[in-house]
């Protein structure tokens, strides 16, 4: 999350750069900033939802990875037990990564899809 000081600095940099762009490029840059802010807001409001998604992905991914790497039954069961206990730590790290990276990645992906139309 940006502090108010960082947000003002980023806004000033955007304004300086916008004056050098054409009108359509200015509109696109402004809309990109709006999309980024909306996605950041969505992640903050829906924190519980994102954590549940991370939990589901972790459960499925860890079981598939353990089954693939550890075929010996007792060792397989032990690894699944370890995976269950490590989920809260993974959730914290994964949510931090999601909160930091997903807004930019999603915004760029959406704009890339829109650019393919034009």
How do residues 49-108 score in pLDDT, each as one tens digit? Answer: 999 999 999 999 999 999 999 888 888 999 999 999 999 999 999 999 999 999 999 999
Distance of CA 53 to the CA centre of its chain: 12
Give residue 87's region: left, alpha or beta (phi > 0; psi -120 to 50): alpha
Burial of 107 (0-12, 13-18, 19+ CB in 10 A): buried
Query: How is residue 3 written in tokens?
Result: 């502090």
pTM of the model: 0.70
Which regions of 13-118 does DSSP assign to beta strands (E)?
none
pLDDT digits (tens, 9 = 90+) for 30-57: 999 999 999 999 999 999 999 999 999 9
Domain boundaries, the chain: 4-117
């Amino acid at each position: 999350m940006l502090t108010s000081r960082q947000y003002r600095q980023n806004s000033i940099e955007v304004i300086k750069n916008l004056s050098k762009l054409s009108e359509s490029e200015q509109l696109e840059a402004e809309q990109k900033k709006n999309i980024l802010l909306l996605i950041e807001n969505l992640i903050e409001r829906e924190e519980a939802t994102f954590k549940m998604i991370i939990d589901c992905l972790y459960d499925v991914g860890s079981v598939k990875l353990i089954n693939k790497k550890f075929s010996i039954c007792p060792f397989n069961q032990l690894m699944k037990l370890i995976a269950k206990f490590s989920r809260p730590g993974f959730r914290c790290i994964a949510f931090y990564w999601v909160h930091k990276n997903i807004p930019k990645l999603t915004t760029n992906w959406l704009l890339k899809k829109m650019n393919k139309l034009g």
